[in-house]
Chain A
Amino acid sequence: MSNFQMDDSKTLWQRWNRNAERNPDKEAIVHWVAGEEPVRWTYKNLIETAKKFSIRVKEAGIKPGEVCAIVMHHNPFFYPLYLGISRAGALPAVLAYPNPRLHPDKFRQGLEGMAQRSGLDYILTERELDPIIRPLIEKPGSTIKSVFFPLEWDYKNEVDKKLDDEIEKIALSIKETDPILLQHSSGTTGLQKPVVLSHRAILNHVQNLGNALKLSDKDKFVSWLPLYHDFGLIACFQIPLAYGITSIHINPFEWVLAPILLLEAITKEKATVTCLPNFAYNVLAEKIHDDELNEISLESLRAVINGAEPIRHDSHQKFTEKFKKHGFNPLALSCLYGMAEVTLSLTVHEPGKPIPELTVDRNELSNGVMKLAGKDSVVRVCVSTGRLIDGCDARIVDENRKDLPDGIVGEVAVKSVSMFDGYRNYPEKTAEVVENGWYFSGDYGFRYNDEFFVIGRKKDLIIVAGKNIYPEDIEDTVNQVDGVDPGRVVAFGEEDEQMGTEQIAVIAETKAESEKEKNDLRIAILKTGMSIDVNIHKVYLVPSRWLIKSSAGKPSRKANKERILSREDKQVWSR
């Protein structure tokens, strides 16, 4: 049973402090590094170190309400820094550390876009990024005030009592409706939408999601998810920390190279809850040798929560088959669906029960109707994302935002006590998606017996391994490749069943004719993708005027994807 009690904490800082007072020696964060002893933060140590960081934040001139982007590797001092920023009344915004393949100009361009849109005031990072970030700050008209290197700050000496009292006053003056953090959606060229969440939104979510998952003080989270992603930040960091339980954090860069790290952490720490995007089930089930699993026991796991990308029946099957001999209980399979705009979650499947699945007629479904499969049907297995959590309401609506009955596919519209406060400095975008308190998600799905099934998207967003990628970003970049007809590019997500995720495909019109010209063009397209840290998996080259245009006169992603995947056109060159 859940034993989370909402107390009178109005802010996360108060809540974290309460947890430290109640259970000072309980582990708050276990920072996991492959092959090393983990760094263990108790609630007491974490709070004490966070206080020291908050003083350095104030000394740096950072004021309440200002936004601090944190761009750091997996580091044990990330956590007290994050809490320290919050105590000082500023808003932490975690951004991805640039992958070596990302071109510095593109990284700068992304930061600049975010700064202009959401008003990043400071960048807190590591010294090695100074040469890349500094020109951005020195540029005339820059909205970024300064760059700091908090890992070089003094957090060992005792705190100055007077300064500490001043900051505590700031912390106490923060209201529950004040923002706590800023989250950016993916995207590289200004398409990011900065979501602002309040203390109240997160505290409400702790209670409602905690209840839905039947969290208790015996639970222990383990995660390899990056903290710039809401599934990592909210589900695996904010929720356990506010709840007063332990979360173990594995380096995402290490996990992708050695997925066994997650299983080792579960085994050694007896973790009970983990969160995984769908592709991770495939990787864990298929890419680890059995002889490395001798010491692995997943008996402690009571919830493995699938989220952040479409949930696939096959992935759950593969995972269960592989790990049941290592103590995995299939009833621990769980899932959630939601979006940053409602803090994280709208629906959750309660762990401990089988996840409802429907075997439906694929053709009927593509016409918008859920019909159970008959003997002649081409089938699709739809996996439920669960039922509404407390404090949330949802409707399935048609294109005029009118309600649709159960079993009919439409757009998911949401209302939640953990709703965001709008996109920061982006009222026109907020107005597009919020109407009368309802957030229109752009996701397509249907409701059946109070279960929500999400089956697609209105938006052309591509989700690769849980990471959202806008096709516009890819198209803009590929458009600049010599040999591609300008403006005649389409990017889309292509299902990769083996990996359990989508992969990026590009269709480009070209006048290239010989095999060599086409091969060279493909390499140029792959390389331009690399420069924005996007891995283009498949390139389709087509002759000029091949692409189907939409009514707006631009190449249609949907129509061209369908045409390409029908694989009937001999003019298409692909590799």
Chain B
Amino acid sequence: MISQELKKVILNELDLDDFDLQDETMAPEVPGWDSLNHVNIIVAVENKFGVKFKSYEVLRLKNVGDLQKLLNAKLGK
């Protein structure tokens, strides 16, 4: 389940008012989320939540649900 906070950061970075982000949603399905922008979204999430992702952790993310899980692990949730 994607938290409202994470959704807000992603949509804000993509300049979207709304988009149905689900656990299974993958980057290419979301307008504006291309490989060039991916790195900016990751940095935005890191800054908002005060966490740091390792490159190999980012590489393993397959969908938004994976990003949420990784974020939860960093936040000790």
Contacts and interface: CB of A to CB of B under 8 A. Distances in A.
Contact of B43 (A34, A253, A287): A287
Contacts of A530: 28, 31
B59 A254 contact: yes
B32 A537 contact: yes
A289 B38 contact: no
Contact of B34 (A527, A535, A575): A535
Interface residues of A, number: 32
Point out which of A35, A257, A291, A535 has the most chain B C-beta atoms below 10 A from its C-beta: A257
B59 A527 contact: no
A34 B52 contact: no
Nearest to B35: A256
Contacts of A288: 55
A253 B16 CA distance: 25
A291 B15 CA distance: 30
A257 B35 contact: yes
Given A258-B56, A287-B43, A279 B28 contact: no
A575 B15 contact: yes
A532 to B, nearest CB: 12
B42 to A, nearest CB: 8
B39 A283 contact: yes
Contact of A101 (B17, B28, B54, B55): B28
A364 B36 CA distance: 34
A99 B35 CA distance: 10
A35 B56 contact: yes
Given A101-B29, A535-B37, A575-B15, A292 B58 contact: no
B26 A100 contact: yes
A11 B31 CA distance: 46
A548 interface: no
A331 interface: no
Interface residues of B, number: 22
A289 B52 contact: yes
Interface of B is mostly: helix
A526 B17 CA distance: 13
Interface string B2-18: 00000000000001110
Nearest to B28: A101
Interface in B33-52: 34-39, 43, 52
A519 B32 CA distance: 14
A526 B31 contact: yes
A261 B58 CA distance: 12
B38 A257 contact: yes
A535 B15 contact: no
Contacts of A407: none
A259 interface: yes
B41 to A, nearest CB: 11
A34 B59 contact: yes
B43 A292 contact: no
A264 to B, nearest CB: 9
Nearest to A251: B59
Contacts of A253: 35
A443 to B, nearest CB: 23
B11 to A, nearest CB: 12
Nearest to B54: A292
Contacts of A535: 32, 34, 36-37
Contacts of A258: 55-56, 58-59
A499 interface: yes
B31 A523 contact: yes
8 contacts: A35-B59, A101-B28, A257-B35, A257-B61, A258-B59, A289-B52, A291-B52, A519-B17
Given A100-B26, A575-B15, 9 more contacts: A35-B59, A101-B34, A257-B39, A261-B55, A291-B52, A292-B55, A527-B31, A530-B28, A535-B36
Interface of A: 34-35, 99-101, 253-254, 256-261, 279, 283, 287-289, 291-292, 464-465, 499, 501, 519, 523, 526-527, 530, 535, 537, 575
Interface of B: 15-17, 26, 28-29, 31-32, 34-39, 43, 52, 54-56, 58-59, 61
Q: Which 10 A-B pairs have the closest CB atoms?
A: A101-B28, A526-B31, A258-B55, A256-B35, A535-B34, A260-B55, A258-B59, A100-B28, A287-B39, A257-B59
